[in-house]
Amino acid sequence: MTHTGLFIGEARTSAETVSSLLPLKPAAASVRDRALTPLLVELDDDDADEVLSALSSATARRLLAAVYDDPRPASELADTLDTTLQTVGYHVERLVDAELIEPVATWVSAQGREMTVYGPTRSAVVLFAGAERTESKLSSGLRTLVTGVGVTLVGSVAVQALWTARQPQVRYAAPAPAAPVPEPGVAEFVSAFLAGPGALAFLVGVVLAVLVSLGAVWTQTRV
């Protein structure tokens, strides 16, 4: 009889030990602080149909918002939304299929039952339209930049040529006629351009062209 009591006590102690080793409700950091990226869904994209279908119900949208607020199991979601566990299970399955939520942890209830905890798959869900309009704005800004750089290059070359022409010519007396001096070539002009005011004018012009292009794109995006 003594051995039986000892066996029961040991079994109870072992069960309590195993229960204490099971993961109960962990800290929020273990399920919320995950490196996630936003989900960008264009309305014309094929993936938009599944996302919009999964979020067509107000209950599904509230469920997704609750998961973003704090990842939790289906039972807690049912209590939060004041609905049945069956309804939550239906919408959870659809949201998982749409890759909007996913299992992120497993908790153990007070009764020892394992509970799957659902969390968001992305840091945010963004539905957008008008990609062609955005692309045209970027193309317009790029054309403005290329035009500005071209005009700046021509202007800086003109500045360099004018500056070179105004430099005083140094003359040396020669006892005999010297061979004709060849005209400066492209390499000499480029070297003088980089060392003279032409390079500075080109740099300032490029900076102004970039600023004007960015300003034009920013203004168009606000319209």
Q: What is the pLDDT of residues 38-85, one digit of tens each?
A: 888 888 888 899 999 999 999 999 999 999 999 999 999 999 999 999
Which helix (H) or strand (E) segment is 39 a member of?
A: strand 39-42
Residues 120 and 57 in one domain: yes
Calculate mean pLDDT across residues 158-177: 66
Residue 32 lies in a domain: yes
DSSP 150-201: HHHHHHHHHHHHHHHHTSPPP----SSPPPPPPPP-HHHHHHHHHHSHHHHH
Residue 182 lies in a domain: no
**pLDDT tens track for 80-126:** 999 999 999 999 999 999 999 999 999 988 888 899 999 999 988 98
The residue type found at 134 is T
Give the tokens for residue 80. Answer: 């939060």
Position with higher pLDDT, 108 vs 134 = 108
Residues 152 and 67 in one domain: no
Give the whole-angstrom CA distance, residue 54 versus residue 94: 6
Calculate mean pLDDT across residues 129-137: 59
Decide which of 109, 128, 147 is a domain's last residue. Answer: 128
Residue 119 lies in a domain: yes
Strand spans (E) along 56-186: 72-73, 101-108, 114-120, 125-128
Per-residue pLDDT at 179? 53
Q: Given a cut of 70, is residue 164 above it in pLDDT?
A: yes
Residue 170 lies in a domain: no
Q: What total of structural domains would you count in the chain?
A: 2
* Per-residue pLDDT band at 220 (split at 50, 70, 90): low
Residues 120 and 63 in one domain: yes
* Per-residue pLDDT band at 155 (split at 50, 70, 90): confident
Lowest-confidence range among 76-80, 168-172, 189-193?
168-172
For residue 36, what are the domain limits? 23-128
Residues 160 and 110 in one domain: no
Per-residue pLDDT at 6? 35
Per-residue pLDDT at 131? 52
User: pTM of the prediction?
Assistant: 0.49
Residue 11 lies in a domain: no
Per-residue pLDDT at 65? 95
Q: Given a cut of 90, is residue 204 above it in pLDDT?
A: no
Residues 72 and 140 in one domain: no
* Per-residue pLDDT band at 20 (split at 50, 70, 90): very low
Residues 121 and 161 in one domain: no
Residues 85 and 72 in one domain: yes
* Per-residue pLDDT band at 11 (split at 50, 70, 90): very low
Residues 6+ apart with CB under 8 A from 81: 59, 62, 63, 66, 88
Residues 101 and 159 in one domain: no
Residues 6+ apart with CB under 8 A from 186: none
Per-residue pLDDT at 19? 43
Residues 150 and 103 in one domain: no
